[in-house]
A and B are shown apart, each in its own frame.
Chain A
Amino acid sequence: MIDPKTKLRRTMMFVPGNNPKMINSADTYGADSLMFDIEDSIAVTEKDTARLLVAEALKSIKFKSETVVRINHPTQTPFGMDDLKVILPAKPDLIRLPKLECIEELNLVTAEIERVEKENGWEEGTIRIIAAIESVKGLYNVREMCKHPRMVAIALGAEDFIANIKTNRTKTGIELYFARSEILMAARDAEIQCLDTVFSDVKDMAGFEHEVSNSRDMGFDGKSVIHPKQITEVHRLYTPTDIQIKKALKVLDAYEDAQKNHKGVLAVDGKMIDGPIVVRAQRVVDQAIAAGVNVEEKREQA
C-alpha cells in the first residue's frame, strides 16, 4: 500500500460537489488528487444535494486518483458534522478540513472518523485528514496541528487568510510569504506534505507558472488547481529536467561505487559530494520516476 504521507500529490483539483458532469469526468485529466467540494463553492441551499451527490459518486465510480472531500467547518457552520455523517461511509481517501484553527477541531473530526471506521470494520487510519490554514489563529497553531496522527498534509487557503490580515493578493506573493514559510516548516517538522493555495485566474498561465515555480522552489509538494489545464502545467514544473536527472544519477552512481569500494571523499565533475547532496539526488530521481520518466533510459544517455 502507498504511504498516504508520502504519496505523490503534485496536484489536487477542486471539483464542485453539485456538478455531476464535472464529477464524472474529474479523473480523466490526470490530477494526483481530486477534491470534491461541498464547502465554499456550494450555496447554503445546495449543501444537502452536494453532500449526497458526492457520497453516491464515491460509492459508484472507481476513481483512479486519490479522493478528497472538503466538508464545511465542523464547529463554525451547522453543516460540517452532518457532512461527515453522509460522506464518511462513502470512504473517501481524505477529508479536507477548511479554516482549521485549533487541535480540538481535529480531535472532533477524528473521533467521528474513528467511529465510522469501527462501525464498518475498516482498519484504523483508512481515512486521513488534510487541513487548510486560512486564518492567523490557525497559522499560530499550525505546528501542533500538523503533528496530529491523522494528518497527512497541510495546505494554505489564501483568500480567507489575506482577508484576515487585511490585504490583497499581489503578483509578488509578498502578502503570503510568511504564512507559506511557516506552514511549510511546520509540515517538514511533522513529516507531512505541504500544498500551496489555488491560483484563480485560469487565463493567466504565465502568472500561474511563476507562482507554481516559486512555491515549488520554497519546498511545497504540490498545488491546488481549479482547472484541468493547470494540471499539465504543474506536473511539467514538478518533473525534474533531463539535466537534473542525469546529474542526480551520476551522483547516486558515484555514491554507490564509493560505498562498495570503501572510497573516502568522492567527487563528481570536480565537485565534492556529501550526504545532503546524495539525499537531494535521490529526491530528484524519485520525483522523476513518480512523474513517469524512464530513468533507466536517462542513465544510458548520461
Chain B
Amino acid sequence: MKNAVGREIPEKIAGLENIKLYQGEFAYQPEGNCRGKKIRVGKPGADKVLASIDEAIEKTGLKDGQTISFHHHLRNGDYLLKMVMEKIAAKGIKDITVASSSLSPCHDFLVDYIEDGTVTALETSGLRGALGKYLTKNPGKLKKPVIIRSHGGRARAIEAGELKIDVAFMGAPTCDHLGNATGKQGKSAFGSMGYAMIDAACADQVVMITDNLIDGFVYPYSIPQTQVDYVVAVEEIGDPEGIASGAIRLTKSPTQLLMAEYAAEVMEKTGYLKQGFSMQLGSGGASLAAAKFIREKMEAKDIKGSFGIGGATGIFTEMLKDDLFEVCYDAQTFDTTAIESIKENPRHLEVSASFYANPWNASPIVNALDVVILSATEVDVDFNVNVITDSNGTLMGASGGHSDTAAGAKLSIIVVPLIRGRLPMIRDHVQNVVTPGESIDVIITDRGIAINPKRQDLIAKLKDSKLPIKTIQELQEMAYEFVGKPEEIPVSQEDKDIIAVVEYRDGTIIDLIRKPLI
C-alpha cells in the first residue's frame, strides 16, 4: 500500500497493531477519548521518599514486558537512564520497552541491554551514535521496529493511550518530599520539564529521581505532587556539561550566516515579519542565526512580535528580555542563558509537549505559529524532509518538533546547504521522510532559494526581489554540476529488515526505515 508521500507500506508489520497510512497533514480523523491515569489513593502521612532506585523498582512492581519512560531534558549529560537500567537488568527483569522522549550518544550502553534481552523495544523521537549504527545493522535484535515519533506525536500517543507507560522514571533537578519537582533549580538545572509533564500526567506510576531533595517546598512546580508516587534521592542525575551548553553563540560560518540572512529576507519580503508575528527557530546553526537578521529588521522597523516557541536559547530569550516578543512558550530549554530566563522572566512560560505540539488537543501552540525556520539532513524535489537518517541510511537524528511546527506554521522555511562534503542535499527522493513536502513552503540553500509550487502567493511576492529564487529542479541541477548525481542507497525490501517506523504526528505511518544494503 502506498501512502500520501509515495512510500510503500506493508499491510502487516511484526509487532505493530492497527497500521494506518499517512494520508495528508490533517486527513486522519481520530475518535474516542483520552486515556486516564490509573486510580490510586494517597494516604495521610504516607512517606514517598524511598532509599534507592532499587527500592523504587520493587515498589512499582515493574515486571517483564512492561514499558518504562524517561524524558530527554538531561540530553547528552543524562546519568539516569543508565542508573535505572542497571538496576532493572540486575534484577533479571526482561522484555522492557524503553520509551524515552529522545536518546543521545550517552545512551549507547543500551546496546548491551538489547543484546541480553533486557530491552526489546524502543519508542523515541530520535537516536544516534553507536546505538543508531547498531540498530541499523541489526534490525532483528528488537521484537518490533523502533517507533520514531515527533514531540507532538509522542504527547498524542501517550494521551490517546497508544503509548501506555507503566512506570515513568524522571530526573528532577529539584524535588521536595511530597514529589513537587522543578527543572529550574539545582546543580543539574535544565529549565523547562515540558517533555516530562505528559509522562507524569499519564503514566500509571511515576518515580521522581533527584539530586537535590529539599526539606521545604518546591514552588512554583513543574510536576505536581498529585502525579508522583515515589521520590528517590541520588548523588547526581547528570553531567552539567552535557545537560546544557553554555550560552549558545551565533555561528561564524559564512555559509550558515548567508542562509540565515536569506531566511530573514524571505520573511520580510513575504510579509510575515509584521507587527505581532510569532516564530520558532530550530536549533541548527543557520536557523538559529536567522535571529540576528530578524532582530535587525524588527529594530529597524520597530516591529514587536507576539510569541516565540522554544527549544529556548539565549539568542531568543534576549529578544524576549528586550521586549521584541511578548511571550516565550518553552517545552525545552537549551542553554544556560535561557535557563536563567525561565527562572527570572515571568513572560518565559514552561509548557508541556502537548501544549506545544500535540495535534489531538484543541489548540497546540504550533497551530498559531506564523513562521518556523528548520534545518534538514536532506530534502527532495517534492520538498519532503529527512532529519532522521544520514546519506547511508543510518539512524543519526531525531524527528523532534520538525513535522509538528512545519504543519502548524503559516510559513515553514528549511535551511540546508546545497552540498555537504561531496553530496548534493536535494535528492529525487529523500532516504526517509519525516516531514512531508506539503508542510514545507520554502527551501533556502547557500546558492539559491526554492519555493514550493503550491505557494504561488509566495512565488508572486518574491519574483521581483533580489533574492536568488530558483526552482527546486534548478537547485538540484546546480548541485549536480558540482558533485554529480550520487548512487541511490539500496535498502532491503524484506519485512524482517524494517529497522524503524516513522510515525507522522497523527500516528499514521509516513515512512519505514529499512536496512541499507551497503
Residues of A near any B CB (own CB < 8 A): 24-25, 28-29, 61-62, 227-229, 292
Contact at B481–A62, with CB atoms within 8 Å?
yes
B482 close to chain A: CB less than 8 A: yes
Contact at A229–B254, with CB atoms within 8 Å?
yes
Contact at B255–A25, with CB atoms within 8 Å?
yes
Name the contact of B258 in the complex, choosing from A24, A28, A292 (C-beta under 8 A). A28
CB-CB contacts of B459-502 with A at 8 A, as 1s and 0s? 00000001000000000000001100000000000000000000
Name the contact of A227 in the complex, choosing from B254, B258, B446, B447 (C-beta under 8 A). B254
Name the contact of A28 in the complex, choosing from B255, B466, B481 (C-beta under 8 A). B255
Could you list 16 further interchain pairs (A-B, Cβ under 8 angstroms) beyond the known A61-B481, A228-B258, A229-B254? A24-B419, A24-B482, A25-B254, A25-B255, A25-B446, A28-B255, A28-B258, A28-B446, A28-B447, A29-B254, A61-B482, A227-B254, A228-B254, A228-B257, A229-B257, A292-B466
Per CB-CB distance, the 4 closest pairs between chain A and chain B, nearest first, are A228-B254, A28-B446, A28-B447, A25-B255
Shortest Cβ distance from B262 into chain A, in angstroms? 10
Which residues of B lie under 8 Å from residue A229 when comparing CB positions?
254, 257
Residues of B near any A CB (own CB < 8 A): 254-255, 257-258, 419, 446-447, 466, 481-482
Q: Is the interface of B mostly helix, strand, loop or mixed?
A: helix
A202 (CB) vs chain B CBs: closest residue: B252
Which residues of B lie under 8 Å from residue A227 when comparing CB positions?
254
Q: Can you list 15 A-B contacts with CB-CB less than 8 angstroms, sorted by A residue number?
A: A24-B482, A25-B254, A28-B255, A28-B258, A28-B447, A29-B254, A29-B258, A61-B481, A61-B482, A62-B481, A227-B254, A228-B254, A228-B258, A229-B257, A292-B466
A228 (CB) vs chain B CBs: closest residue: B254
- Tell me, in angstroms, the Cα distance from A29 to B447 when the chains sit together: 9
- Tell me, in angstroms, the Cα distance from A292 to B257 when the chains sit together: 22
- Tell me, in angstroms, the Cα distance from A227 to B482 when the chains sit together: 23
Which residues of A lie under 8 Å from residue B482 when comparing CB positions?
24, 61
Which residues of B lie under 8 Å from residue A29 when comparing CB positions?
254, 258
A28 (CB) vs chain B CBs: closest residue: B446
Which residues of B lie under 8 Å from residue A292 when comparing CB positions?
466
- Tell me, in angstroms, the Cα distance from A292 to B466 when the chains sit together: 9
Which residues of A lie under 8 Å from residue B447 when comparing CB positions?
28
B464 (CB) vs chain A CBs: closest residue: A294
Shortest Cβ distance from A125 into chain B, in angstroms? 29
- Tell me, in angstroms, the Cα distance from A228 to B466 when the chains sit together: 18
- Tell me, in angstroms, the Cα distance from A38 to B236 when the chains sit together: 55
Which residues of B lie under 8 Å from residue A228 when comparing CB positions?
254, 257-258
Shortest Cβ distance from B43 into chain A, in angstroms? 65
A25 (CB) vs chain B CBs: closest residue: B255
Which residues of A lie under 8 Å from residue B446 when comparing CB positions?
25, 28
A227 (CB) vs chain B CBs: closest residue: B254
B445 (CB) vs chain A CBs: closest residue: A28
Which residues of B lie under 8 Å from residue A24 when comparing CB positions?
419, 482
Which residues of B lie under 8 Å from residue A25 when comparing CB positions?
254-255, 446
Which residues of A lie under 8 Å from residue B481 when comparing CB positions?
61-62
- Tell me, in angstroms, the Cα distance from A23 to B259 when the chains sit together: 18
Which residues of A lie under 8 Å from residue B419 when comparing CB positions?
24
Shortest Cβ distance from A68 into chain B, in angstroms? 19
Shortest Cβ distance from A252 into chain B, in angstroms? 25
Which residues of B lie under 8 Å from residue A61 when comparing CB positions?
481-482
